[in-house]
Chains A and B, each alone.
Chain A
């Protein structure tokens, strides 16, 4: 753990995320090694790859749910993976995360779910917090559902409510773990539009873990592709360019499968 207590101020030139030689694993097993990449501010960045290649593991290590065994993660130039708890908490305020199933707190209503980060990190009055929570829910198309409990809404609505909660503190980076998982194509498409809208409205940096080709080609600015056997990144770039030009058969097979061929 570093001696850093308060993070240095972020410079405008720093990338949103900087990952250097990260090694990820759990229970003594190495899942990914020597993973390095950068995500520019305002970019929609996808982490792609087949099942079991370590996409979600990488995401969990990025957001601090698991401790990397080696390497560094920086957000806006601020050290995170090995930072002091006080510094980590400062960084945590700058990002939100949408989990696969929404991960809403089931004992709280949708409004209370969105309000909790605001209660924790802001000095707003209870009435103001309620207004902001209502606004965030409206932004994701859940106006009128504020007093519903998570058990009373559909899977797609849970994801949108989870997104509203992730956006509660107007984060600079939003992480999405398999946003399309379990959703029908129409709902999935609407969620993609919502992601684009968030980036365009607030300039938010978006990091998405997905293997949904339609989403990758529709909204990703840049992708990295992970491979299970390689235990790391095997390709990095714009999805269409990778699909058309990559000579790596693993990349080509993944990006050109099915009917979703890039135009």
Chain B
């Protein structure tokens, strides 16, 4: 059995002789343990010459250097002479390094003037705007190329993505849509009951789900689920140089990676929105039957008096546009990701935020346009 050597704490004792002070250092000096301070050792004395010795020091590390550096700096500040002759060579070398780095280190100023910040932000906005325009342009050209030679399209990848963003999203889309229908029905029932217009709950649910909520709620779910996944996948591929490998082979990443994902979302989003409409209406129907005692047949018949095919088609058009927005945001942010784990995370977050923002903007534009067209 080995026995650990006894641990003696760091000690510093000062002996004054005229204007000279001898500082005898002893014990174990470790950065993780407390150490004496120069001010404490010196007390009220003002020596003109300080001479540290380390004869009694056992194990030592940066802790001892910090004490000696503190002493040396005090001497420099007061004009006293720091006599390091009695210190071992390696301590003197490290002390010289510490003093040199202390003198030469200049804090890196990252602050910018207001004008610089505005200029850089403007430049950044222009660069980002140009990148978005270029990316959308590449996607359009790629889509034209796909129409010309569909055999070269990666259909297998596209079907895989359809399964991922479509079939695999069914459970969450079902739950969200059903609950949106239930919530709408409960909210509507509060007002409609007061006027004896219970039956019009069917019109409220039908119209709001088909024209608005089905597409928007599905888009919100897919922005979080699929848009983020696209950005993370492409960002990771960029970090692993997989995108570079495509470019070196002369294969445009847009053609290989983006178009299959865009097509998959463009196809699956309207289908999911139609499915969400059905589930939302079902949720409303359940509440209407349970809360307002409206028979399902009456609910259905009333709903058909106001919801027609043009309402359904507006929802489908919106859903397709939202799908493309989610796909474009996810892929663009993924391809723009920095080559690091943090960069991939930021790309995923940015993809979701960009998609949600653009979905709301597009929804407002659709509302104005459909109103102008009388749809």
Chain A residues at the B interface, C-beta cutoff of 8 Å: 60, 63-65, 88-89, 92-93, 95-97, 99-101, 103-107, 116-117, 120-121, 162, 165
When the two chains form their complex, are residues A65 and B248 in contact, meaning their CB atoms are under 8 A apart? yes
Collect the chain B residues with CB atoms within 8 Å of residue A116's CB: 249, 251
- 13 further contact pairs, Cβ within 8 A, besides A92-B249, A103-B245, A116-B251: A60-B244, A89-B250, A92-B248, A93-B250, A97-B248, A100-B241, A104-B242, A105-B237, A105-B245, A106-B237, A117-B249, A120-B250, A162-B245
Residue of B237, B240, B250 touching A92 (CB-CB under 8 A)? B250
- Rounded to whole angstroms, the CA-CA distance of A13 and B247 in the bound complex is 29
Interface contact A99-B250, CB-CB below 8 Å: no
Main secondary structure of the interface of B (DSSP, over half): helix
Neighbouring A residues of B237 by C-beta, 8 Å: 105-106
B247 to chain A: closest residue by CB: A65
* A103 neighbours in B (Cβ, 8 Å): 240-242, 244-245
Inter-chain contact A63/B248, CB cutoff 8 Å? yes
Interface contact A120-B251, CB-CB below 8 Å = yes
Across the two chains, which residue of chain B brings its CB closest to A100? B241
Nearest Cβ on chain A to B315's Cβ, whole angstroms: 33
A-B residue pairs in contact (CB < 8 Å), sample of 17? A65-B244, A89-B250, A92-B248, A92-B250, A96-B248, A99-B241, A100-B241, A101-B241, A103-B240, A103-B241, A103-B245, A106-B242, A116-B249, A117-B249, A117-B251, A121-B250, A165-B245
Q: What count of chain B residues pass the 8 Å CB interface test? A: 12
Contacts of A107 in B (CB 8 A): 157
The chain A residue sitting closest to B246, CB to CB, is A105
Q: Which of B157, B240, B245, B251 contacts A97 (CB 8 A)?
A: B245
Residues of A within 8 A of B250 (CB): 88-89, 92-93, 120-121
Residues of A within 8 A of B245 (CB): 97, 99, 103-105, 162, 165
Using Cβ atoms and an 8 Å threshold, which residues of chain B touch A97? 245, 248
A-B contact number at CB 8 A: 47
State the Cβ distance, B130 to closest chain A Cβ, in Å: 15
Cross-chain contact B241 with A64 (CB below 8 angstroms): no
Task: Determine whether the beta carbon of A106 is less than 8 Å from that of B249.
Answer: no
Evaluate contact between A101 and B240: CB separation under 8 angstroms. Answer: yes
Taking CB atoms, residues of chain B closer than 8 Å to A88 are 250
Contact flags (1/0) for B300-325 with A, using CB distance below 8 Å? 00000000000000000000000000
Q: Which residue of B lies closest to A65 (CB)?
A: B244
> Please, which residue of chain A has its CB at the minimum distance from the CB of B255?
A120
Which residues of the partner chain B approach A162 to less than 8 Å between Cβ atoms? 245
Contact partners of A165 in chain B: CB under 8 A: 245
Chain B residues contacting A117 (CB-CB under 8 Å) are: 249, 251
Q: Which residues of A contact B249 (CB under 8 A)?
A: 92, 116-117, 120
Chain A neighbourhood of B241, CB < 8 A: 99-101, 103
8 closest Cβ pairs, A-B complex: A92-B250, A103-B241, A103-B245, A99-B241, A89-B250, A97-B248, A117-B249, A103-B242
Asked if B247 contacts A64 (CB within 8 A), the reply is yes
Bound CA span A53–B250, Å: 27
Closest to B248 in A: A97
- The answer to whether A106 touches B244, judged by C-beta atoms less than 8 angstroms apart, is no
Task: Provide the bound-state CA to CA distance between A92 and B240, in Å.
Answer: 21
B319 to chain A, nearest CB (A): 27
For the complex, what is the distance from the CA of A65 to the CA of B238, rounded to whole Å? 12
How distant is the Cα of A106 from the Cα of B237 in the complex, in angstroms?
8
Give the complex CA separation of A100 and B245 in angstroms: 11
Provide the bound-state CA to CA distance between A63 and B250, in Å.
Answer: 10
Question: What is the CA–CA distance of A165 and B246 in the complex, to the nearest angstrom?
Answer: 11
Using Cβ atoms and an 8 Å threshold, which residues of chain A touch B247? 64-65
Measured CB to CB, the nearest residue on chain A to B239 is A101
CB B138 to nearest CB in A, in angstroms, measures 12
Q: How far is the CB of B243 from chain A (nearest CB, A)?
A: 9
Residues of B within 8 Å of A93, CB to CB, are 250
Residues of B within 8 Å of A63, CB to CB, are 248
User: Given contacts A97-B245, A99-B245, is CB(A106)–CB(B240) below 8 Å?
Assistant: yes
Q: In whole angstroms, what is the CA distance A106 to B249 when docked? A: 17
A12 to B121, CA, bound (A): 51
Q: Is the CB of B244 within 8 A of A99?
A: yes
Measured CA separation A97–B11 after assembly (Å): 62
Within the assembled complex, what's the spacing in Å between the Cα atoms of A57 and B242? 17
Residues from chain B with Cβ under 8 Å of A99 in the complex: 241, 244-245
A116 to B244, alpha carbons, bound, how many Å? 14
The distance from the CB of B122 to the nearest CB of chain A, in whole angstroms, is: 15
Give the interface centre of A96, A103, A121 by most chain B CB atoms within 10 Å.
Answer: A103
A100 to B247, CA, bound (A): 16
Given the complex, which residues of A lie within 8 Å of B242, measured CB to CB?
Answer: 103-106
Task: Give chain B residues whose Cβ lies under 8 Å from the Cβ of A96.
Answer: 248
Q: Which residue of B lies closest to A63 (CB)?
A: B248
Nearest CB on B from A126, distance (A): 12
A112's nearest neighbour on chain B, judged by CB, is B156
Residue of A nearest to B160 (CB): A107
Distance between Cα atoms of A62 and B249 in the complex (Å): 14
Q: How far is the CA of A89 from the CA of B255 in the complex (A)?
A: 15
A89 to B248, CA, bound (A): 9
Residues of B close to A105: CB separation below 8 A:
237, 242, 245
